[in-house]
Amino acid sequence: MPQPVWKIDTTKLAQMWKERGLSPEDVADRMGGVCPLIHYYEAGVHSPSVSDLGDLAWALGYAPDDLIASPRGEVSLVDLRYAADLTAASVAARLRRDPTGHGQLIDHRKIRDLEEGRKVAGKMLRRPKASGLLTGALARTYGVLPRVLMDA
């Protein structure tokens, strides 16, 4: 199973629930999860999935970005694709099936161009709102927060 490309700031995590007067058990209850998993996050043994990161942040009353320890820009788009265990062709296929990518001529070459920082042509990419939706679809495809994708 691919590993998340971010780590939780374990010191900040413990500080956050202490500031809120919560125990790991309280956080687990708020998340609807089990306490050992919270202890694994606290110890840095496991990193939560995107949805679990959102649940954890909500349980603590913080934004998901507040929990991430990785410096911004440290991860590349290729790293995100590899961490999701995807090929450029499979990413392109998923984006074409996504409602935001419908009708776009997205192929593995465009994904590779994007990863290598080259300009990617496309009618949808000229409109900021539409390209933002495609960015969200790519973040979902990689299983990361949009912030992580944008930093890459």
CA distance 152 to 146: 10
From 85, 88, 104, 86, select the one nearest 96 (Cα to Cα): 104
Residue 129 pLDDT: 58
- pLDDT tens sequence for the chain (152 residues): 445 566 788 888 888 888 889 888 888 888 887 777 888 888 888 777 777 888 888 888 888 878 877 666 677 888 888 878 889 999 999 988 888 777 678 889 988 988 888 887 766 566 655 566 778 888 888 888 787 788 77
Residue type, 69: A
CA distance 134 to 124: 9
CA distance 140 to 45: 24
Residue 1 pLDDT: 41
From 146, 144, 141, 134, select the one nearest 94 (Cα to Cα): 141
